[in-house]
């Protein structure tokens, strides 16, 4: 009896999946395998299950004989599948996130591969002591993992990057992601915290991994400020994963926040969840000169103007300086586009950023403390 939804034999269906760097992999979408292992017959089914217009999921099922023999067989099959996925995944070493499905299911529909800009160490403009602290707690730690494991110590580490907006926290993470060879980077925003179990499964599967949670204060703020039971569950999940209550793994957690004072004390103060906090300060005058040189490297800015800009941008964030150089370039192009940048180009850019857009514009750009004269 075929019923209302008959199952019929049909040719195998495939789908081209983007795995980044311009590469695609042809993946099987459905299949049935009739197999035998140690005298026991079993069936493996791969199918794409449609969820009534809300998306689709890939399902792997094993039909085995009942009893202990069948249970052991299923365990071997799924253990082998997990090992194969872990060792041979085309996502290993990539920078990935999960597409959020906004329909009723709340699950992720597929993996997205990101191509982040390559950031060299010389392009990370921070006080040398802070950059060395970052490298010691991430790059050096990664090199020492096996020795730490041999001593019976944890190889999971949590860091909190904090500081005013635009001070280079995300920029530094791009440098680390490009330098941590063999690590899979998972990018999680606050709105994706509902997918945390799926992200953690990927991190353990594709370890060593770098898990980045941006704007952590939106999910991990003081419990007394929380009014959603769902948010409370997400916070507890995050704390449990970071506290190592489950399987220990070669995973870095890097959380970023502009407001460390609002973070849940259990997250900020408990060793094993956050092992190191690193502050990203506003740049001093020497660092502002380096930032001007970096972002204006293709502009001819007279030395005297560089010195003046470094002085007048006291209290500005790197993001403000980056945008300032772009505005200067734009005004320079409109004027003539050749030769050296003029004082008029600089004054026009500063006026537009500090006065034309009002106080909110200045705050958004990270230049509230910049002189306007």
Q: Do 57 and 46 meet the contact criterion of CB atoms below 8 Å apart?
A: no
Express each pLDDT in 149-190 by its tens digit. 999 988 999 999 999 999 999 999 999 999 998 999 999 987
* % of the chain exceeding 90 in pLDDT: 40
Most confident stretch, 33-42, 81-90, 277-286: 277-286
Q: Per-residue pLDDT tens for 282-303?
A: 999 999 999 999 999 999 999 9
Tens digits of residue pLDDT in 294-351: 999 999 999 999 999 999 999 999 999 999 999 999 999 998 878 899 999 999 988 8
Q: Is the pLDDT of residue 113 over 70?
A: yes
Binned at pLDDT 50, 70 and 90, residue 240 comes out as confident
Dihedral angle computed from the Cα positions of residues 63, 67, 69 and 73, in that order, rounded to the nearest 10 degrees: 30
CA-CA distance, 316 to 366, in Å (whole number)? 6
Give dist(CA 318, CA 99) in Å, integer.
30
Instruction: Judge if pTM exceeds 0.85.
Output: no
State the Cα torsion 252-258-259-260 to the nearest 10°. Answer: 30
């Amino acid at each position: 009896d075929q019923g209302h939804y008959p199952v019929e034999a049909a040719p195998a269906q495939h789908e081209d999946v983007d795995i980044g760097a311009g590469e695609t992999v042809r993946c099987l979408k459905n299949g049935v395998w009739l197999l035998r292992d140690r005298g026991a017959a079993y069936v493996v089914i791969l199918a794409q299950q449609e969820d009534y217009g809300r998306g689709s999921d890939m399902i792997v099922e094993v039909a085995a004989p009942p009893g202990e023999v069948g249970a052991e067989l299923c365990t071997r099959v799924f253990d082998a599948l997990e090992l194969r996925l872990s060792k041979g995944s085309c996502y290993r070493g990539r920078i990935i996130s999960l597409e959020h499905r906004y329909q009723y299911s709340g699950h992720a529909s597929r993996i997205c591969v990101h191509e982040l800009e390559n950031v060299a160490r010389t392009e990370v403009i921070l006080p040398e002591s802070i950059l060395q602290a970052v490298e010691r707690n991430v790059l050096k730690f990664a090199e020492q993992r096996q020795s730490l494991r041999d001593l019976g110590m944890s190889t999971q580490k949590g860091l909190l990057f904090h500081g005013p907006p635009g001070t280079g926290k995300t920029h530094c993470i791009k440098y680390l992601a490009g330098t941590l060879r063999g690590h899979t980077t998972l990018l999680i925003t606050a709105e994706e915290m509902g997918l945390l179990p799926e992200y953690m499964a990927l991190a353990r599967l594709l370890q060593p991994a770098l898990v980045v949670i941006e704007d952590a204060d939106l999910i991990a703020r003081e419990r007394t400020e929380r009014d959603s039971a769902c948010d409370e569950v997400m916070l507890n999940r995050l704390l449990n994963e970071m506290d190592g209550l489950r399987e220990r793994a070669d995973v870095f957690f890097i959380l970023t926040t502009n407001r460390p004072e609002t973070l849940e004390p259990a997250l900020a103060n408990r060793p094993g969840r956050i092992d190191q906090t690193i502050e990203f300060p506003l740049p001093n005058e020497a660092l502002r000169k380096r930032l001007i040189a970096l972002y204006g490297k293709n502009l001819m800015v007279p030395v005297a103007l560089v010195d003046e800009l470094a002085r007048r941008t006291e209290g500005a964030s790197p993001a403000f300086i980056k945008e300032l150089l772009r505005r200067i370039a734009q005004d320079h192009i409109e004027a003539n586009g050749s030769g050296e940048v003029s004082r008029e180009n600089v004054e026009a850019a500063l006026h537009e950023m500090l006065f034309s857009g009002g106080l909110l514009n200045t705050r958004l750009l990270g230049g509230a403390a910049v002189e306007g004269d």
